[in-house]
Structure 1
Amino acid sequence: MVSRRPLYCLLLLVSYMLYLVLGAFVFSTLEEPHELQLREKVEELWADFLHSHPCLSEELLDDFLRKALLIKTFGVSVLRNISGFEVKWDFVSSLFFSGTTLTTIGYGHPFPISLSGKVFCLLYSIIGIPFTLSLLSIAAQNLVVLLHDKPIHVLHMQCNISRNKLEWIHVAVLVSLLSLLFFFIPAFAFNLIEGNWGYVDALYFCFISLSTIGLGDYIPGEQSGQRMPALYKILVIGYLLFGLTAVFLVVEVLKSRLHLNRFFNLFLLECEDHRRAEEIDRAPPFDSEGPFVPKHEETTRRRVPHSVSPTEKSYGSINPSFS
């Protein structure tokens, strides 16, 4: 029988390409009109500024803006009224950068400028990213035992509900509670602290951060005049670490409930053959001198007739050598 897994792999690839095309179409439809409006406003501002300052050369203004925007991309503000807390590479800001880098969120603001900083970031991340992801995964797996397996066992012993139904109820409650603790409530806090963030913007930031997308369009603690910005950034680092642990926990629980491994196995070539081979390799050894007896027939093994010589080992209740 011809395996269908290559066909499943092809369908999966085609589905993913269609999903990419769908995303590109929707983003282009939604964002391009706003981009064109902003471009028109920039052209109006440019023309008004040159009209108000006829002594200023358009070439000099263009050169100045290019340099200022280039400096801005390195995370250095071009405004002159910056305070000491807006330095991008003080200790707390560097700690925030380390945390967002090792968790693979990577807002991209700021980023290393010097060659030595880039080399260190490379070496630091090679060790730190696997270390961080392993730590979060271990913490999530331990939380699965504490927050999922043990409560399910206790509730199943005390409640007259089927285990499958009880697990689905528990998953729904757990996901809802974690969503409330790490998305909706933090979004409300960011909405209050960040003056120009709406609630939807703050909720968007929470999702983009905890999903490790990290677009960098919203970065906490970057506004001037914020109270205790150092403490605020440290608290944000803690939020990101605990939030990512919660996301890992949800993924582990949902994976166990939806049996995603079985679904993914459909797209792995020769997966079933390898699995059977591994099961055979893991099977306990049996005595080659006697007949093979399956595990479920172990209780009836004494009733299996043996054709053995008097010198061979006998597993029956009567030794043939005495017959």
Structure 2
Amino acid sequence: MTKSERQRRHLPDSCFKCRKKCCWFLKKLVVFCFSQIGIVCLVIAYAILGAVIFGALEETTEELNRVIVEELRNTTIKQIYTLNKKLLLYEEKNWSHAVDNVLLDFQKDIYLAITRDGWDGRQEDYAGVSDWSFTGALLYSVTVITTIGYGNITPKTTAGRLATIVYAFVGIPLTMICLANLGHMFGISFKALYRRLVCNKKKKVNKTSDTSSKYLVANPQNIKIEDDENEAVVVMADSEKVSDTRVPVYVCFLIVIAYILIGTVLFSVWESWDPITAGYFCFITLSTIGFGDVVPGHSLESWASQAKRVTCTLYLLFGLTLISMCFSLMVDEVREIAKRFGRWMGLLQSEAN
């Protein structure tokens, strides 16, 4: 008697059927999670989970910091007023020295409130979108798992910093796998599109043309010639696979440049940036450098709508996927260039040999 038969003997039929259904469901769930769509859904759910966690941990502290800065400002005002009453009849030099000390202390406290406590410069009665609202926390989560890390918004609580470590430890490998899979999938799709639009077009060649006529670059075994009213038509054979199609490197660069230009126009309109600043931000973001010196929503008047943060998040994710696709497309072309260079240097033997 096998182990499963012994277990079934001690369990009622209903419990056994329920356990069997649970095992079947878990297997299907695991298979779905490791599929293309499953990994994408998993990354999206993970980013949303991070937005909920970081928003709950940091939003209250952000509001508290505004109240603390308000009290600090009121205290400074009272100190200056007291100095005015005491030193009213004294020389201007003594009064300026006393007030300067008070303002210097206030300046240091404001610096600590910004760098250490994360004060965003907004008033205590600010009714706009918080940095740690759902959309702000979602943007922060995406910058963490994509390793961009702007640094303009960072957790200030101990719990938030510990959560960031754990969150990044799991999210970064998951996101890298997702981007690699999406880049490979989009690369195959773009190869099929490129082959259909460019490489697979019929090229008519006059039969009377000399041997110097230009033909479509392809493997001779995958070319067939058809007669069409005194003209020879060179077409690609059906046996040629999409994976054998090579996309030129300059096409990949044009795709990336076009996407950066789209982002340049978008952020120039939203943030009133000049084109150089907007293009600089898009390049720094898509290259995952993420200096954080120029970040959308960093000014006090920007981001009147939360939809802008969601759009920015989608721009980042789709842009990184596009970069991954271009890298995937350039691999075959760079490999072929390296082979040609190796044959030219004599390091590799020619295929004809």
Once the two structures are TM-superposed, the CA of residue 262 in structure 1 deviates from its matched residue by: 6.5
Alpha-carbon contact 1:92-1:234 (below 8 Å) kept: yes
Determine helix, strand or coil for the equivalent of 2:128: helix
Alpha-carbon contact 2:118-2:154 (below 8 Å) kept: yes
Partners in 1 of 2:118 and 2:246 — Cα distance? 46
How many residues are matched?
212
Question: Is 1:194 aligned to 2:251, yes or no?
Answer: no
Once the two structures are TM-superposed, the CA of residue 240 in structure 1 deviates from its matched residue by: 0.2
Q: Give runs of aligned pairs for residues 91-106 of structure 1, distance below 5 A.
A: 91-106=134-149
Letter paired with 1:162: V
The TM-score, its normalising length taken from structure 1, stands at 0.58
Partners in 2 of 1:214 and 1:227 — Cα distance? 20
The TM-score, its normalising length taken from structure 2, stands at 0.53
CA shift in 2, pair 1:193/1:157, >3 Å: closer
Alpha-carbon contact 1:208-1:215 (below 8 Å) kept: yes
Determine helix, strand or coil for the equivalent of 1:158: coil
CA shift in 2, pair 1:141/1:226, >3 Å: same
Given the alignment, which residue of 120, 124, 129 partners 2:163?
A: 120
Once the two structures are TM-superposed, the CA of residue 109 in structure 1 deviates from its matched residue by: 1.7
Partners in 1 of 2:328 and 2:249 — Cα distance? 11
Alpha-carbon contact 2:252-2:330 (below 8 Å) kept: no
Considering fraction of residues, name the structure with more strand: 2
Q: Give runs of aligned pairs for residues 83-232 of structure 1, distance below 5 A.
A: 83-149=126-192, 151-152=194-195, 155-160=198-203, 161-163=216-218, 170-180=248-258, 182-195=259-272, 197-226=273-302, 228-232=304-308
% identical equivalent positions? 26
Aligned to 1:58: 100
CA shift in 2, pair 1:115/1:260, >3 Å: farther
CA shift in 2, pair 1:192/1:157, >3 Å: closer
Deviations 1:261-310 (A, max 9, x none): 969xx9xxxxxxxxxxxxxxxxxxxxxxxxxxxxxxxxxxxxxxxxxxxx
Once the two structures are TM-superposed, the CA of residue 167 in structure 1 deviates from its matched residue by: 6.2
CA shift in 2, pair 1:113/1:65, >3 Å: same
Aligned to 2:85: none
Deviations 1:162-197 (A, max 9, x none): 049x967654334313421x20121011111102x2
Aligned to 2:118: 75
Aligned to 1:279: none
Structure 1: 5+ residue runs without aligned partners? Answer: 1-49, 267-323
Determine helix, strand or coil for the equivalent of 1:107: coil
Alpha-carbon contact 1:183-1:207 (below 8 Å) kept: yes
Partners in 2 of 1:129 and 1:241 — Cα distance? 13
Alpha-carbon contact 1:76-1:88 (below 8 Å) kept: no
Letter paired with 1:97: Y
Structure 2: 5+ residue runs without aligned partners? Answer: 1-91, 204-215, 220-243, 343-353
Determine helix, strand or coil for the equivalent of 2:112: helix
